Structures are given as structure tokens and as C-alpha cells.
Amino acid sequence: MQYTPGAESPSALAKIDMLQMLQRTGKPVYVCCPVHEVAGVIDKLDPKGLAISATDIASPKQTDGFMQLIQKRFAKAVAD
């Protein structure tokens, strides 16, 4: 299942309940969201079966921060 925010629902965070329900049924979830929402999305969704894309990364520094955030969250998930 892919979720990309649009004009009617500009935030992936507003759809977390629906995305969690999809994950509980075993469906993989692909979320596109602005980089400032990534932490909230990955903290609320199971990393298993989750793919996430930041839609507004504009610099190598932002890319590094995004990757560090993802690595930190997934390292926590592996440890759990």
C-alpha cells in the first residue's frame, strides 16, 4: 500500500491509524512524506514492511540526517 499526501490530506501523520491497520493485516506500507514528518512516521509504524521516502530533501546534509534517523530507528527495531 502506498500513501502519498495530497491537497486533501497533506500529512502522513493524519493517516497513521489507517497505516497501522494495514500493517496489522500484514501489508507492506510505502509512505512519502516531508522530511520533517519522517521521525513521527517511523516512530508510530512497525519498521517491518515499511518503506519511507522523504519528498523534500534538498541537500546532502539533509540526506545525511535522514539516513541517520532511519539507521537509528531500524537499529532500535532490530535490538527489540
The residue among 59, 60, 5 whose CA lies nearest residue 30 is 5
Q: Residue 75: its pLDDT value, please?
A: 79
18-32, 39-53, 63-77: range with lowest mean pLDDT: 63-77
Q: Tell me, what's the pLDDT at 50?
A: 92
Confidence of residue 10 (pLDDT cuts 50, 70, 90): confident
Question: What is the DSSP track for 19-79?
Answer: HHHHHHTT--EEEEE-GGGHHHHHHHS-STTEEEEETT--SHHHHHHHHHHHHHHHHHHHH
Predicted structure pTM score: 0.78
Q: Once rounded to an integer, what is the mean pLDDT over residues 38-66? A: 91
- Which string of b and e fits 37-55 if b means at least 16 CB within 10 Å? bbeebbeebebeebebebe
